[in-house]
């Protein structure tokens, strides 16, 4: 019986693609990845997908593609690699993937996350931080996540926010509206490890009126931990 590999391929640059991930992709018969309009994934793994059946997905059809692949190869001796940006255990919907492929033998292969890269740039400890993802959530949950972010910051945690439906600007506005000092230090990372990488260092007050890539990583540095 075939196997499903949920493969983390790192934050962007092929330099961060692990040997373990390469082995899983090379050994797969089928590869599922995001198309070029949605992610950098194809460029990162392009040399590893030759001769393989390739399924491409985007923000509108990704669930359907996963379900079609699961249906097509259920019970067959086919190895499948599901390509995930960064690390599969951080904001990847791994719970839903394991449900869709529940009848398969599954192995999760860790990757280097943009969360780790951003923490390194900010020189903060992950043990003293909280990761909040704003990728693909409904309005009610977004409101709850904003409240959670504020509470964690008040408790002395650094915040590493994966932005998406909520922007770095909106996070800054929200925190300041709740009494957080506008001089609080923040790092906003765009396109980490890629050739067009951008790093902004400043304060909550300074990022309030700036525009950033929808999918960026914001690090809000808690002064209690400095």
Average pLDDT over residues 196-220: 93
Q: The tokens of 182 are what?
A: 């506008």
For the cut 60, the answer to whether the pLDDT of residue 45 exceeds it is: yes
pLDDT at 74: 94
Please check the confidence at residue 192 and state whether its pLDDT lies above 80.
yes
Q: Which residue has the tokens 């997905």?
A: 57
The pLDDT score that the predictor gives to residue 19 is 96
Residue 162 and residue 206 in one domain? yes
Confidence at residue 2, expressed as pLDDT on a 0 to 100 scale: 84
pLDDT at residue 198, as a whole number: 95
Domain boundary among 112, 146, 170: 112
Same domain, 98 and 27: yes
Q: What is the pLDDT of residue 206?
A: 96
| pLDDT beyond 80 at 138 | no
Same domain assignment for residues 96 and 168: no
Q: What is the CATH number of the domain that holds 209?
A: 3.30.950.10
Q: Which of 66, 90, 112 is the last residue of a domain?
A: 112
pLDDT value at residue 137: 53
User: What letter would DSSP give residue 86?
Assistant: B
Helix (H, G, I), strand (E, B) or coil at 81: strand
Q: Is pLDDT above 60 for 104?
A: yes
- The reported pTM is 0.89
Co-location of 147 and 215 in the same domain: yes
Looking at residue 35, its pLDDT comes to: 85
Residue 127 has pLDDT above 80, yes or no: yes
Strand order in the sheet with 80-84: 53-57, 30-34, 80-84, 3-8, 105-109
Domain boundary (112, 130, 145) is at 112
Q: Which range of residues forms the domain containing residue 72? A: 3-112
9 lies in the same domain as 100: yes
Q: What is the largest CA-CA distance in the chain?
A: 58
pLDDT category at 37 given cuts 50, 70, 90 is low
Supply the pLDDT for residue 179. Answer: 97
Q: How far is residue 205's CA from residue 182's CA, in Å, rounded to a whole number?
A: 5
Position with higher pLDDT, 217 vs 142: 217
- On whether the CB atoms of residues 86 and 8 are closer than 8 A, the answer is yes
Given strand 185-190, what is the order of strands in its sheet? 129-133, 158-162, 216-220, 185-190, 198-203
Instruction: Clarify whether residues 95 and 187 are in a common domain.
Output: no
- pLDDT number for residue 39: 65
């Amino acid at each position: 019986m075939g196997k499903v590999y949920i493969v983390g391929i790192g934050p962007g640059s092929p330099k961060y693609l692990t040997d373990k991930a390469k082995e899983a992709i090379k050994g797969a018969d089928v590869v599922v990845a995001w198309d070029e309009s949605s992610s950098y994934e194809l460029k990162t793994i392009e040399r590893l997908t030759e001769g393989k059946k390739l399924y491409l997905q985007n923000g509108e059809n990704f669930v359907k593609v996963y379900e079609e692949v699961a249906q097509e190869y259920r019970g067959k001796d086919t190895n499948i690699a599901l390509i995930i940006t960064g690390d599969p255990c951080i904001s990847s919907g791994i719970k839903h993937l394991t449900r869709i492929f529940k009848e398969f033998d599954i192995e999760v292969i860790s990757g280097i996350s943009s969360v780790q890269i951003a923490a390194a740039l900010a020189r903060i400890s992950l043990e003293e931080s909280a990761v909040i993802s704003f990728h693909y959530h409904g309005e009610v949950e977004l409101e709850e996540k904003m409240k959670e972010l504020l509470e964690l910051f008040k408790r002395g945690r650094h915040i590493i926010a994966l932005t998406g439906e909520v922007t770095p600007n909106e996070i800054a506005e929200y925190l300041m509206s709740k009494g957080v000092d506008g001089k609080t230090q923040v790092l906003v990372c765009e396109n980490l490890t890629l050739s067009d990488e951008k790093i902004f260092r400043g304060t909550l007050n300074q990022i309030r009126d700036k525009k950033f890539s929808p999918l960026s990583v914001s690090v809000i540095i808690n002064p209690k931990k400095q």
